Amino acid sequence: MTEDLGTPVLDNHLHLDPRHGRGIEAVEEFVRLGGTHLLVVNKPSWLLGVEPDEPADFRAVFEETLETVAAATEALPGRAWPVLGVHPGLISRLVDERDFSPTEARDLMRGGLEVASEYVADGDALALKSGRPHYDVTDAVWEASNAVTRRAFELGAEVDCAVQLHTEATEDLTDLAAVAEEAGLDPSRVVKHYAAGELAGVTPSVMSDKDRLERAAEAVEPFLMETDFVDDPDRPGMVLGPKTVPRRVRWLLEEGYDEAVRRAHVETPRDVYGIDTEATLERSES
Ligand SMILES: [Zn+2]
């Protein structure tokens, strides 16, 4: 029995790992509760066993993600899209464990983003993923991370796509909005994943707990909803499960936030990514 919530339901940021985790079974669970569309972000390279020495080494990570997205699309009444990039935490692994200097790490990560942008240019991926560590780092690592993020914005402007960011917990990213603007990328097409209910500067992808969602709904600003489901058997319960977005959409509708549901699942996805979650939805007519 599949629920029909009468609206597209998009989880804007999750990971799927058929090789180690629940994979398509998690997608089926999402669908059963009324979920329709997914933005699938590649797992951090090291969790897929890739320790890159050169930018081309990221291709294995990206290719595996594209395969997973194709399988997810088969299972969805709507579809899935890939978001490809380099996890900002990689810089610490390179610098602390593999003797890269911060500038060498920066160059490798920028190169990985350039490879990711080729997939976007070819129409095989929807958006890029970048950002900076959410934990304390040295000034050199912080600067290198900001330089990587700037490169992601430049590439987003070049290939005309949105950029999802992983950053420190904050409700003010006007500094990165200014960097995006300088790089030629509209800051509204920069999306902070794991966001609170409100965010200055860029578009929030709100973690789907009720308090955050209520704030986002009341704020009458563009927002997206996500779980950051990691699909990692070693980290169960780290984040929200795949059922969460459809469940919270049902709750928002019950609370009378129909307009906010439309904002998060139709209008903001259209404005940020240029995707149409209604036209890409096939429902059996009843
Ligand atoms: Zn994530």
Is the confidence at residue 286, as pLDDT, over 70?
no
State the distance from the centre of ligand 1 to the C-alpha of 82, rounded, in angstroms: 13
Write out pLDDT tens, residues 238-277. Answer: 679 999 999 999 999 999 999 999 999 999 999 999 999 9
Q: How far is the CA of 260 from the centre of ligand 1 (A)?
A: 23
Q: Ligand 1: distance of its center to the CA of 284 in Å?
A: 32
Q: How far is the CA of 274 from the centre of ligand 1 (A)?
A: 21
Write a three-state SS string for the chain.
Answer: CCCCCCCCCEEEEECCCCCCCCCHHHHHHHHHCCCCEEEEECCCHHHHCCCCCCHHHHHHHHHHHHHHHHHHHHHCCCCEEEEEECCCCHHHHHHHHCCCCHHHHHHHHHHHHHHHHHHHHCCCCCEEEEECCCCCCCHHHHHHHHHHHHHHHHHHHHHCCCEEEECCCCCECHHHHHHHHHHCCCHHHEEEEEECCCCECCEEEEECCHHHHHHHHHHCCCCEEECCCCCCCCCCCCCCCCCHHHHHHHHHHHCCCHHHHHHHHHHHHHHHHCCCCCCCCCCCCC
Cα(219) to centroid(ligand 1), Å: 24
Q: Which domains does the chain have, with CATH numbers?
A: 10-273 (3.20.20.140)
pLDDT in tens, 63-98: 999 999 999 999 999 999 999 999 999 999 999 999
* Mean pLDDT computed over 120-146: 98
Cα(230) to centroid(ligand 1), Å = 6
Mean pLDDT, the chain, integer: 96
What is the pTM (predicted TM-score) of this model? Answer: 0.96
Distance from Cα 285 to the centre of ligand 1, integer Å? 35
Q: From ligand 1's centre to the CA of 98, what distance in Å?
A: 23
